[in-house]
């Protein structure tokens, strides 16, 4: 029996290179070894976007198009939308009864976001309960492994604590999930900070070649390099960080033995390549590697009915499991069952 993997993403619309290398390429790989469930966490979007909900559905569809375009395969993985599965909300309710407030109040993501996000009032019941909803998402499928980024580790730990507390009250029903933390390369935006929608420094999977070219030109580089002959420090240059990903096997000028990234590193250190040329090489490689993804995106965009069909089939498959767990729980709590 394959182990079960589950992960979700808030519907942020079009995805960028940070999503691709931080999560998605890992999700695609996991499909080969695990029984995978991937879902759009649209209720989680409501915890912060409750005043402005009009884009959530469109953003969800755009995000699923990007998932499929990079290789998530609905034949292999169950792909669905959280709000289509009311079972998540029922488990969320049960878990909310047993989760001590102090566990939620001390959660680092909660404290940080309260401080950082000032445009919205996040002193709400739903926002405090964000990790409880996330725990319900995971526990309802009895997932063994949850691929998450480092920022999500506290949520996973909380999920495990909630599962233990639940089981101590009602019997061994829920599975304690383990985090699948894979090493991911840092993807810098043009300002050198982490690529993120909120910094407005992203290269999107759907960006046209001309847009990619403009964005790459706008990247900061090693400040020591004013003239092309100045000796450079590629290790601190965000362009070089991207070369390491995009300029090996996918490069059109790749020659066996020496990767282009290695050559670039050497040339930069010796002051034998200018930043303009270096950026141009990178641009070409990124455009080339996004080409097949963009072809797939265009095909999928033309056929929204296909996306809806995939999501409908996905939610039916998910429901078969979620419904079973919820009935088991109602029985354990001596509540009414649907059967
Ligand atoms: N909180 C996650 C994020 O912001 C999204 C999410 C919701 C999730 N439910 C989940 C991730 C369950 C993994 C498992 O990225
Ligand atoms: Fe960065 Fe390339 Fe310029 Fe070196 S040559 S500083 S790696 S852009």
Average per-residue pLDDT for the chain: 94
Between residues 338 and 85, the one the model is more confident about? 85
For 6-21, give one letter per residue: b (16+ CB within 10 A) or e.
bbbbbbbbbbbbbbbb
Question: Ligand 2, residues 232, 273, 286: which to mutate, most atoms within 8 A of Cβ?
Answer: 232
Start-end of CATH 3.40.50.620 domains in the chain:
4-187+304-332
* Lowest-pLDDT range of 63-67, 85-89, 124-128, 226-230: 226-230
Highest mean pLDDT, choosing among 112-121, 246-255, 320-329: 320-329
Q: What is the 3-state secondary structure (H, E, C) of the chain?
A: CCCEEEEEECCCCCCEHHHHHHHHHHHHHHCCCCEEEEEECHHHHHHHHCCCCCCHHHHHHHHHHHHHHCCCCCCCEEEEEHHHCHHHHHHHHHHHHHCCHHHHHCCHHHHHHHHHCCCCCCCCHHHHCHHHHHHHHHHCCCCCEEECCHHHHHHHHHHHHHHHHHHHHHCCCCCCCEEECCCCCCCECCCCCECCHHHCCCCECCCCHHHHHHHHHCCCCCCCCCCCCCCCCHHHCHHHHHHHHHCCCCCCCCECCECHHHHHHHHHHCCCCCHHHHHHHHHHHHHHHHHHHHHHHHHHHCCHHHHHHHHHHHHHHHHHHHHHHHHHHHHHCCCCCCC
> Residues 248-274: what's their mean pLDDT?
74
Q: Give the confidence band of 249 by pLDDT, cuts at 50, 70, 90.
A: low
CB 108 within 8 A of CB 64: no
158 Cα to the center of ligand 1, angstroms = 13
168 Cα to the center of ligand 1, angstroms = 25
Question: Ligand 1, residues 5, 9, 79: which to mutate, most atoms within 8 A of Cβ?
Answer: 9
> Residues 120-130: what's their mean pLDDT?
95
- Residue 259 pLDDT exceeds 80: no
Nearest ligand to the CA atom of 279: 2
10 Cα to the center of ligand 1, angstroms = 7
> Residues 310-328: what's their mean pLDDT?
98
Rounded to the nearest 5°, which phi and psi values hold at 35?
-85, 110
What is the pLDDT, as a whole number, of residue 256? 43
CB 170 within 8 A of CB 335: no
Nearest ligand to the CA atom of 151: 1
Q: Give the confidence band of 337 by pLDDT, cuts at 50, 70, 90.
A: confident
CB 140 within 8 A of CB 87: yes
Which atom, in ligand 2's list, is nearest to the CA of 219? 8
CATH class of 207-298: mainly alpha
41 Cα to the center of ligand 1, angstroms = 7
- Nearest alpha carbon, ligand 2 atom 6: 222
Nearest Cα neighbor of 95 from 4, 195, 166, 23 is 166
Question: Ligand 2, residues 216, 219, 221, 261: which to mutate, most atoms within 8 A of Cβ?
Answer: 221
- Residue 251 pLDDT exceeds 70: no
What is the pLDDT, as a whole number, of residue 323? 97
Ligand 2 environment, Cβ below 6 A: 221-222, 225, 232, 234, 237, 239-240, 268, 273, 275, 278-279
CA distance linking residue 190 with residue 34, whole number of Å:
36
- Nearest alpha carbon, ligand 2 atom 4: 268
> pLDDT tens digits, residue range 131-184?
999 999 999 999 999 999 999 999 999 999 999 999 999 999 999 999 999 888
Burial class (CB in 10 A: 0-12, 13-18, 19+), 3: middle
Ligand 1 environment, Cβ below 6 A: 6-10, 41, 44, 134, 137-138, 146, 148, 152
Which atom, in ligand 2's list, is nearest to the CA of 273? 5
Q: Give the confidence band of 339 by pLDDT, cuts at 50, 70, 90.
A: low
Start-end of CATH 1.10.240.10 domains in the chain:
207-298
CA distance linking residue 339 with residue 22, whole number of Å:
42
CATH number of 4-187+304-332: 3.40.50.620
| Sequence-ordered list of residues with C-beta below 8 angstroms from that of 15, at least 6 positions apart, any chain | 24, 63, 66, 67, 204, 205
**pTM over 0.85, yes/no:** yes
Between residues 118 and 318, the one the model is more confident about? 318
Which atom, in ligand 1's list, is nearest to the CA of 133? 9
> pLDDT tens digits, residue range 63-113?
999 999 999 999 999 999 999 999 999 999 999 999 999 999 999 999 999
What is the pLDDT, as a whole number, of residue 255? 44
Tokens of 235: 């290790």
- Nearest alpha carbon, ligand 2 atom 5: 275
Q: Give the confidence band of 123 by pLDDT, cuts at 50, 70, 90.
A: very high
262 Cα to the center of ligand 2, angstroms = 12
> pLDDT tens digits, residue range 262-309?
899 999 999 999 999 999 999 999 999 999 999 999 999 999 999 999
What length does the chain have? 339
């Amino acid at each position: 029996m394959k182990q079960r993997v589950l992960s979700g993403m808030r519907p942020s619309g079009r995805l960028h290179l940070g999503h691709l290398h931080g999560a998605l390429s890992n999700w695609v790989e996991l499909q080969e070894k695990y029984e995978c469930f991937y879902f759009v966490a649209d209720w989680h979007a409501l915890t912060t976007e409750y005043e402005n909900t009009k884009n959530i559905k469109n953003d969800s569809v755009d995000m699923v198009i990007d998932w499929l375009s990079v290789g998530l395969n609905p034949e292999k993985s169950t792909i669905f939308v959280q709000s289509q599965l009311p079972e998540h909300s029922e488990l969320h309710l049960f878990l909310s009864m047993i989760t001590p407030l102090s566990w939620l109040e001390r959660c680092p993501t909660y404290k940080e976001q309260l401080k950082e996000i000032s445009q919205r009032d996040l002193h709400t019941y739903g926002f405090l309960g964000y990790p409880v909803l996330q725990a319900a998402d995971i526990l309802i499928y009895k997932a063994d492994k949850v691929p998450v980024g480092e920022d999500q580790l506290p949520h996973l730990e909380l999920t495990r604590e909630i599962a233990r507390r639940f089981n101590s009250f009602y019997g061994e029903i829920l599975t304690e999930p383990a985090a699948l933390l894979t090493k991911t390369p840092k993807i810098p935006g043009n300002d050198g900070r982490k690529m993120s929608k909120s910094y407005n420094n992203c290269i999107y999977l759907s960006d046209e070649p001309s847009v990619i070219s403009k964005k790459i030109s706008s990247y900061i580089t090693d400040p020591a390099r004013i003239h092309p002959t100045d000796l450079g420090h590629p290790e601190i240059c965000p362009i070089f960080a991207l070369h390491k990903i995009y300029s090996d096997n996918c490069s059109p000028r790749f020659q066996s033995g020496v990767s282009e990234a290695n050559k670039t590193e050497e040339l930069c250190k010796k002051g034998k390549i200018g930043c303009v040329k270096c950026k141009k090489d990178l641009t070409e490689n990124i455009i080339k590697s996004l080409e097949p993804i963009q072809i797939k995106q265009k095909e999928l965009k033309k056929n929204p009915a296909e996306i809806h069909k995939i999501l409908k089939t996905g939610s039916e498959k998910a429901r078969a499991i979620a419904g079973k767990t919820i009935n088991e729980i109602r029985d354990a709590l001596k509540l009414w069952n649907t059967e």
